[in-house]
Amino acid sequence: METKKLGILFGIEKSLGNEGHLFRGPGNVLLLHDRFLKENSDKIYLPAASIENSAVFMALFLAFIFNLFRYPCCFRVGECLICREDQMSMLLQLKNTLKFNVAASSNLVSWNPSTDCCSWRGVTWDATGHVVALDLSSQSISGGFSSASSIFSLQHLQSLNLANNTFYSSQIPSGFHKLVNLTHLNLSNSGFSGQIPIEISLLTRLVTIDFSTLYYIPGAPTLKLENPNLTTLVQNLNELRELHLNGVNISAEGKDWCQALSSSVSKLQVLSLSNSFLSGPIDCSLKKLQSLSRIHLDNNNFSAPVPHLFANFSNLIHLQLSSCGLYGTFPEKIFQLRTLKILDLSNNKLLEGSLPEFPLNGSLETLVLSDTEFSGKYPTP
């Protein structure tokens, strides 16, 4: 079919069946998409056969210009321009299946088919009208959702944030493998419990994972990594930069968890495994992760000396090793790291050392040594 490029056309309604050619644009006006438009195009076409004369063309052109000035905010680069009808339908279906407190959920209550789709809070659309990011953090969502949820039909989704909700005692659904474009996944402090599903390991584009639990309550249900274990979870995640599993029951020995990470996530920059039931000693294989800038391993039971390998992380900014059962003499070279800003070794009663002369051009801002056996003077500001 021959087509003519008309730009974006407003106020045009044409039945195209269920083929995903209808869109919503700024102001909730209908947009028409050509049957043969390529997926990566940001143009809207109208079949040439539908243009009967130049007067119709002029009317459509004027309608476009009118709406361009009427909705200038929606024509900036990177902002909402169009919304696919099928994507809107999936979001509305998701809203209808979730339990949430209407008074506390500012994002979900804004999803209304009679309002401008560009004003739907927590939703980011790309230039072709697909949902690429969804932020439903702190929306007072309770209960859970299954692998049949419409959220797993949002195939273009790159970022999903469900943090700080109350999915108490419900398991993480196994449907995440359908979100093949996902790069950022945040389920922290959401009350999920039980085994982390193996399907997460299939999301090979993941850059950030956060399954952390801020408050650990003994005896309360927690997330765990048994089958799959940590090795299986990260074995395909070669692009991972941040791994946050605070409060997740990993229950692994030093050699196992260190080698699992060093063999699979070489680009890792943030490692946060506080209170994860890890044991020591910390294996030397960890030194392969030379991009690490933040290491949080507090509240684990290493029962071992602090390894010298931490002095080899030239990008290290924050090292958190409090309450780890560490003992022996602390390696002085770690104090000499010029990038280090925060060092917390507190509550390691058998850990000792002498505070050295700190480098004049160093970055150290916070040093916590309470309940240790260090001697010497703290560096002056």
pLDDT of 362 reads 83
| pLDDT tens-digit profile, the chain (381 residues) | 333 233 333 333 333 334 444 455 544 444 444 333 434 344 333 334 444 455 555 555 555 545 444 443 343 434 677 899 999 999 999 999 999 999 999 999 999 999 999 999 999 999 999 999 999 999 999 888 889 999 999 999 999 999 999 987 689 999 999 999 999 999 999 989 999 999 999 999 999 999 999 766 666 678 999 989 999 999 999 999 999 999 999 999 999 999 999 999 999 999 999 999 999 999 999 999 999 999 999 999 999 999 999 999 999 999 999 999 999 999 999 999 999 999 999 999 999 999 998 877 889 999 999 999 999 887 766
Q: How far apart are CA 14 and CA 366, in angstroms?
A: 64
Chain centroid to CA 118: 22
Residue 83 makes CB contacts below 8 A (sequence gap 6+) with 23, 24, 25, 117, 118, 125, 129
Rounded to 10 degrees, the C-alpha dihedral 324/329/330/331 comes to -140
- pLDDT value of position 359: 76
Question: Which has the closest alpha carbon to 20: 131, 156, 129, 111?
Answer: 129
Q: What are phi and psi of 244, to 5 degrees?
A: -115, 105
| C-alpha closest to that of 129 among 199, 59, 40, 198 | 40
Q: Are the C-beta atoms of residues 57 and 50 closer than 8 Å to each other?
A: no
Residue 73 burial by Cβ neighbours in a 10 Å radius (0-12, 13-18, 19+): exposed
Domains of the chain by residue range: 3-75, 87-375
Q: Which helix H or strand E contains 327, and what residues bound it?
A: strand 327-329
The per-residue pLDDT for 257 is 98
Distance CA 359, CA 370 (A): 22
Distance, in Å, from the CA atom of 192 to the CA atom of 174, rounded to the nearest integer, reads 13
Instruction: Return the bridge partners of 195, or none.
Output: 224
For the domain made up of 87-375, the CATH class stated in words is alpha beta
**Cis ω before 228 (30° cut-off from 0):** yes
DSSP 283: P
| Secondary structure element (H or E) that encloses residue 374, with its range | strand 373-375
Name every residue whose Cβ is closer than 8 Å to that of residue 45 and which is 6 or more positions away in sequence.
Answer: 3, 4, 5, 6, 32, 33, 34, 36, 37
Which residues partner with 373 through β-bridges? 352
Amino acid of residue 294: R
Q: Determine contact, residues 150/90, Cβ cutoff 8 Å.
A: yes
> What pLDDT is recorded for position 70?
45
